[in-house]
Amino acid sequence: MTYPFLDNFMGAYLNQDYTLSGDSIEAIVDVFKHANGAAAVHGLREDAARFRLDHAASLDRDFAVAYETEIDLSGFGHDAASFLDLLVRRLAA
C-alpha cells in the first residue's frame, strides 16, 4: 500500500528542518492544515489512519522503516501509534 499524503507530510513537514514549521507536532500539523486544502487534509488523515490499521502487528517497526530518514518521534514523546492518533485527531479538529 502507498500513503502519498503521509509520505508528503513526513518529507515536507517532519524532516530535518521541521523547526521551520513549528516546535511541536501540533504546531506543524496546524501549519500543514493552513497551507493545504481540505482534500490534502482529508487525504493525510485517511493515510495516517490506514497506515495504523495496515501495520497494526508491527507498527513501530514498519513506521521506522517507512520514515527512517525523517525525525525521531521519541524526541516529541511519541511512538508511531500515539503520533498517528494525534495526527488523525488534530486533522479532524
Taking alpha carbons only, the member of 67, 87, 92 closest to residue 11 is: 67
What values do phi and psi take at 81, rounded to 5?
Answer: -65, -50
The model carries a pTM of 0.88
Averaged pLDDT of the chain:
89
Taking alpha carbons only, the member of 90, 47, 88 closest to residue 66 is: 47
Where would I find the beta strands (DSSP E) of the chain? Answer: none
Split at pLDDT 50, 70, 90, the class of 18 is low
Q: What is the pLDDT of residues 28-63, one digit of tens each?
A: 999 999 999 999 999 999 999 999 999 999 999 999
Grid look-up 507498527 returns: 59
The pLDDT value given to residue 68 = 77
The pLDDT value given to residue 56 = 96
Split at pLDDT 50, 70, 90, the class of 11 is confident
The arithmetic mean of pLDDT across residues 63-70, rounded, is 83
**Distance between CA atoms of residues 17 and 72, nearest Å:** 12
What values do phi and psi take at 63, rounded to 5?
Answer: -65, -45
